[in-house]
């Protein structure tokens, strides 16, 4: 007997496709990619132990602010992270607050952030696929220290105390043409809130 699967390959392929689709859901989200700028050079200059202490402090304040704002850290990316928010304003406030606290706790390093909003597939319950995810990552790549960048066409109502300034038209890798980008700054005024589990499991938000 061989090791080849039995049955009609077309039928098998369709069954696999149905199983994959059953584990996906298309949802509106705002994505934030965060990078601790200068981390590689800092590690080379001061060693692994010093870099590890800064990284630990960065992750600690990121977790704290995420809980305060009701956003979720979807994954850690070495010296950065990917954050997912149901409401764009929460992602904006998270980014600005992280930028402010990191300037004190993580000095001499700084945070840079790319934000983007749109529909994405929740894949197998814990991963996101979509152009908004890619755009947020590209914006983080080109942001400078202490910069928070967002596509102008996607910006919704800003939280009180937040200002958006023109950053110009940029070419993002993987996207056609140029995209008008805004830089966010300011001191947002927002009522405290806590991260509640049901926010992420209630349809249409959950995976």
- Give residue-wise pLDDT tens across range 83-140: 999 999 999 999 999 999 998 889 899 999 999 999 998 877 678 888 999 999 999 9
Residue 192 pLDDT grade (very low, low, confident, very high; cuts 50, 70, 90): low
Is the peptide bond prior to 204 cis by the omega test (within 30 degrees of 0)?
yes
- What phi-psi label fits residue 90: left (phi over 0), alpha (psi between -120 and 50 degrees) or beta? alpha
Q: Tell the CATH topology of 24-201.
A: Alpha-Beta Plaits (3.30.70)
How many CB atoms are closer than 10 A to CB 154? 17
Separation between Cα atoms, residue 183 and residue 193, nearest integer Å: 25
The whole-angstrom separation of Cα 192 and Cα 37 is 28
Predicted local distance difference test score (pLDDT) of residue 49: 93
Residue 31: HSE in the Cβ half-sphere, 13 Å Cα cutoff: 28
- The answer to whether 53 and 110 are in contact (CB under 8 A) is no
**Sign of the torsion formed by the C-alpha atoms of 12, 14, 19 and 20:** positive
């Amino acid at each position: 007997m061989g090791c080849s699967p039995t049955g009609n390959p077309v039928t098998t392929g369709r069954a696999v496709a149905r199983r994959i689709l059953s584990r996906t859901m298309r949802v509106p989200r705002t994505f934030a990619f965060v990078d601790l700028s200068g981390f590689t050079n800092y590690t080379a200059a001061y060693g692994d132990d010093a870099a590890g202490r800064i990284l630990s402090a960065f992750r600690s304040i990121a977790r704290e602010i995420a809980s305060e704002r009701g956003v979720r850290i979807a994954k850690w990316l070495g010296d950065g992270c990917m954050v997912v928010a149901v409401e764009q304003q929460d992602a904006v406030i998270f980014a600005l607050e992280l930028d402010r606290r990191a300037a004190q706790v993580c000095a001499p390093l700084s945070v840079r952030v790319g934000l983007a909003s749109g529909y994405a597939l929740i894949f197998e319950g814990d991963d996101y696929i979509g152009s908004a995810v890619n755009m947020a990552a590209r914006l983080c790549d080109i942001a400078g220290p202490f910069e928070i960048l967002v596509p102008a066409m996607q910006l919704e109502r800003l939280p009180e105390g937040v200002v958006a300034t023109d950053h110009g038209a940029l070419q993002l890798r993987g996207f056609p043409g140029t995209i008008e980008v805004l830089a966010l700054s300011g001191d947002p005024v927002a009522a405290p809130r806590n991260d509640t589990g049901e926010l992420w499991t209630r349809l249409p938000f959950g995976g």
